[in-house]
Homo-oligomer: A and B are copies of this chain.
């Protein structure tokens, strides 16, 4: 059905269209790539590719442009991830190595990705649920309020205020604090709920009400770890990407963190580099964009994802290379922290 030459033609079409942003015709294809056949032959191959749905014509007597399906085939079988140049790798290293805390790592990563790919970069904060407890702190704030601070091994800090208590005593808080830390430090967050089940029973009756409040807030904060944080960068690059018409839709989609989190989540195996093209993205506003994403974390254990959003007409090999490289470096930096 699709012999090697037809695939080469498809590859050439994608490459040319990506670099010129203009429908590519049989003649210019024959000129620019040495395919060893004449334009007429290429034309014949093109109708085959078009019948299969890999390319399409904006209008009769224009060149062809790849469809989503065409890009998909290109990504899956016709291209290889392009490794970064030595200079780029050095740039990543120096750029990221100066970061001191998690916020700064994330902020720098976003800028880096945006600059490398000249597209919109997305970085998700390390998910709460895939981390372990480093420390829990309880801080009395006046008579009726206590602040809980949860610190994870990924450097993330989650704080909540527990309100509406009565007569909080310093010792009671201190006791609870020690009890919590003894029970939970080092545990995966997912293991926290079972570990605290029988804690209230060990608290003196007078303080039990407070203990229960604190625990419920703690558990709640784990569940709401679902409310994961995301940072965006490089939106200015959107202006140069040329979806002028639908630009508003894209910006709107990017502002909806919920949407982005869902999209990143939909991407398959978190340890892999995944590409979602055009309509695969299941979000109206992003019909004409592709998302390249990868998980990052300690070794092969992914904590969260990062990626870039760009036009379906993007340089996939280059973008994939950049995303993969950045994900690896961020992982190693986090591990070193």
The closest CB in chain B to the CB of A248 belongs to B239
Interface size of A by CB at 8 A reads: 27
Binds B, one of A7-15, A156-164, A310-318: A156-164
Chain B residues lying within 8 Å of A159, measured Cβ to Cβ, are 149, 157
Is there a chain B Cβ closer than 8 Å to A240's Cβ? yes
Q: Smallest CB–CB gap between A216 and chain B, Å?
A: 14
Q: Smallest CB–CB gap between A183 and chain B, Å?
A: 17
**Would B238 and A251 count as touching, CB distance under 8 A?**
yes
Complex CA gap A162/B147 in Å reads 22
**Would B240 and A101 count as touching, CB distance under 8 A?**
no
**Would A137 and B161 count as touching, CB distance under 8 A?**
no
**Would A101 and B147 count as touching, CB distance under 8 A?**
no
Complex CA gap A147/B239 in Å reads 42
Q: Smallest CB–CB gap between A257 and chain B, Å?
A: 9
Is there a chain B Cβ closer than 8 Å to A271's Cβ? no
Within 8 A of B (CB), among A135-187: 135, 137, 139, 141, 147, 149, 151, 155, 157, 159-161
Q: Smallest CB–CB gap between A135 and chain B, Å?
A: 5
Number of copies: 2
- Contacting residue for A141 out of B135, B139, B149, B248, CB 8 A: B135
Is there a chain B Cβ closer than 8 Å to A247's Cβ? yes
Complex CA gap A234/B248 in Å reads 10
Is there a chain B Cβ closer than 8 Å to A284's Cβ? no
Is there a chain B Cβ closer than 8 Å to A93's Cβ? no
**Would A139 and B147 count as touching, CB distance under 8 A?**
no
Is there a chain B Cβ closer than 8 Å to A196's Cβ? no
The closest CB in chain B to the CB of A142 belongs to B134
**Would B147 and A151 count as touching, CB distance under 8 A?**
yes
**Would A255 and B235 count as touching, CB distance under 8 A?**
yes
Chain B residues lying within 8 Å of A155, measured Cβ to Cβ, are 161
- Contacting residue for A161 out of B101, B234, B236, CB 8 A: B101
Is there a chain B Cβ closer than 8 Å to A31's Cβ? no
Chain B residues lying within 8 Å of A135, measured Cβ to Cβ, are 139, 141, 147
Which residues of A line the B interface, CB within 8 A?
Answer: 101, 134-135, 137, 139, 141, 147, 149, 151, 155, 157, 159-161, 233-236, 238-240, 244, 247-248, 251-252, 255
| 19 additional contacts (CB under 8 A) given A135-B141, A139-B151 | A134-B141, A135-B139, A135-B147, A137-B137, A137-B139, A137-B149, A141-B151, A147-B151, A149-B157, A155-B161, A157-B157, A157-B159, A235-B251, A235-B255, A236-B248, A236-B251, A236-B252, A236-B255, A240-B248
A-B contact pairs, 24 of them (CB 8 A): A101-B161, A135-B139, A135-B147, A137-B137, A137-B149, A139-B149, A139-B151, A141-B151, A147-B151, A149-B149, A149-B157, A149-B159, A155-B161, A157-B157, A157-B159, A233-B255, A234-B255, A235-B235, A235-B251, A235-B255, A236-B251, A238-B251, A239-B247, A240-B248
